[in-house]
Amino acid sequence: MELGLGGAVAVVTGASRGIGLAVTAALVAEGAHVVAGARVPGPDLEALVRAGKAHALAVDLGTADGPGRLAELALAEFGRIDVLVNNVGAVTPRPNGFLLVTDDEWTRSVTLNLLSAVRATRAVLPTMVTAGRGSIVTVASVNAVLPDPGVIDYSAAKAALVNFTKSVSKEFGSRGIRANTINPGPVATDLWLGAGGVAETLAATTGANPDAVAGEAAAHAVTGRFTRPAEVANLVAFLASDRVAGNITGATFAIDGGYAAETH
Ligand SMILES: NC(=O)c1ccc[n+]([C@@H]2O[C@H](COP(=O)([O-])OP(=O)(O)OC[C@H]3O[C@@H](n4cnc5c(N)ncnc54)[C@H](OP(=O)(O)O)[C@@H]3O)[C@@H](O)[C@H]2O)c1
């Protein structure tokens, strides 16, 4: 399927590893120019930069001006932004329960998982409105619809992110801008499987083996496995494309191997 993304300018947040890196690679493969942000761009992203396929900015997207600086780089280099992928996010398991989650921890979580997307979206919308077109794809989480006390702040922030994206789709739809959300279940990235990731953290609190914790999560999916980052990236690329997804907006897509029991 030809997505028609050749020459498109895409901004991707949280792009050095995991889903964001896979999204960057998928969009580059479709012929898009990607302006990618992470605190430490890292070797895989830098290889795409060296190949002339992407620009990378070392930026903390949890700061007030971080998302705007990324959008400014794209505008300085290309003069427009066609696609925004709000991907950056992080989760810290809360095995000790809600009452021990502090204000600082709530603030950090809401800032990176929700406010970073609010700020990036605010930064790209003016150029999209001028162009009369644009696609915003936001990576939320299955926890947006599966509230979980073990990740209580993350679940609430991701639910708000879906709600926010829907509002944006309503306000800007008549001006040619589409905004959609993806809710992945467990994905095989550092967030779940890396050092200090969800599997390791939960294992440390229960005395279990991290592989067993991950295996249990995989078993919750009807397919019995984690989603691959490239599978999320393919869905992002599909939604980014006006050619194939031109009348899809305000929608939320699960990619979780059937992990969430309800239909959403
Ligand atoms: N993996 C899953 O199971 C899963 C499931 C559902 C939803 N999601 C969502 O998918 C998105 C990507 O997750 P992932 O699994 O790919 O995570 P990951 O493997 O931990 O990668 C996170 C990416 O974001 C960057 N990042 C983190 N904090 C940042 C900050 N303050 N400023 C700039 N960049 C930052 C990281 O680079 P640096 O560390 O260099 O900054 C990295 O490139 C997140 O929104 C996550 O909530 C993931």
For residues 202 and 81, membership in a common domain is answered with no
Question: How does DSSP assign 79-131, residue by residue?
Answer: S---EEEE--------TT-GGG--HHHHHHHHIIIIIHHHHHHHHHHHHHHHH
Residues 134 and 76 in one domain: yes
Number of the ligand 1 atom closest to the C-alpha atom of 21: 43
- Report the nearest atom of ligand 1 relative to the CA of 41: 40
In a domain, 167, yes or no: yes
Nearest C-alpha to atom 17 of ligand 1 is from which residue? 191
Same-domain check for residues 77 and 113:
yes
Helical pair 42-50 and 18-29, crossing angle rounded to 10 deg: 20
Residues 249 and 220 grouped into a single domain: no
Is there a single domain that holds both residue 45 and residue 114? yes
Cα-to-centroid distance, 141 and ligand 1 (Å): 12
Q: Are residues 180 and 206 in the same domain?
A: no
Pick the atom of ligand 1 nearest to 187's CA.
3
Report the number of distinct structural domains present in the chain.
2
Please report the beta strands in the chain, taking only residues with DSSP state E, as ranges in sequence order: 9-13, 33-38, 54-58, 83-86, 134-139, 177-184, 252-255
In a domain, 88, yes or no: yes
Asked if residue 207 belongs to a domain, the reply is yes
**Atom nearest to 86 CA in ligand 1:** 45
Q: How high is the pLDDT of residue 21?
A: 98
Taking only Cα atoms into account, the Rg of the chain, rounded to an integer number of angstroms, comes to 18
Pair (179, 75) in one structural domain: yes
Establish if 165 belongs to a structural domain. Answer: yes
104 CA to middle of ligand 1, Å? Answer: 19
Ligand 1: residue whose CA is nearest its atom 23? 14
259: annotated active-site residue:
no
Same domain, 132 and 233: yes
Instruction: Identify the residue whose C-alpha is closest to ligand 1 atom 44.
Output: 89
CB-based contact 11:120 (threshold 8 Å): yes
Encode the chain (264 residues) as per-residue pLDDT tens digits.
899 999 999 999 999 999 999 999 999 999 999 999 999 999 999 999 999 999 999 999 999 999 999 999 999 999 999 999 999 999 999 999 999 999 999 999 999 999 999 999 999 999 999 999 999 999 999 999 999 999 999 999 999 999 999 999 999 999 999 999 999 999 999 999 999 999 999 999 989 999 999 999 999 999 999 999 999 999 999 999 999 999 999 999 999 999 997 665
Whether the CB-CB separation of 169 and 178 falls below 8 Å is answered with yes
Domain co-membership, 131 together with 178 = yes
In angstroms, the CA 145 to CA 185 distance is: 11
What's the pLDDT score for residue 1?
85
Q: Torsion angle of alpha carbons 109, 204, 95, 216, nearest 10°?
A: 90
Probe target for ligand 1 pocket from 19, 63, 256, with the most ligand atoms within 8 Å of CB: 19
Range of the domain at 208: 193-226
Q: Please, are residues 144 and 186 in contact by the beta-carbon 8 Å criterion?
A: no
Residue 260 in any domain: the answer is no
What would the two tokens of residue 88 be? 């950056």
125 within some domain: yes
Are 127 and 65 part of one and the same domain?
A: yes
Catalytic residue from among 154, 164, 172, 238: 154
Task: Report CA(247)–ligand 1 centroid distance (Å).
Answer: 28
Distance in Å, CA 102 to ligand 1 centroid? 22
pLDDT given at position 261: 77
Does 213 share its domain with 233? no
Cα–Cα separations (whole angstroms), residue 38 to 13, 95, 104, 147, 182: 7, 28, 22, 27, 20
Ligand 1 contacts (CB < 6 A) are 14-20, 37-40, 59-62, 87-91, 112, 139, 141, 184, 186-187, 189-192
- Position 233 scores a pLDDT of 98
**pLDDT at position 263, please?**
62
- Those residues with Cβ within 8 angstroms of residue 74's Cβ, 6 or more apart along the chain or in another chain: 9, 11, 35, 55, 81, 124
Same domain? 211 vs 135: no
In a domain, 154, yes or no: yes
Q: Is residue 169 in some structural domain?
A: yes
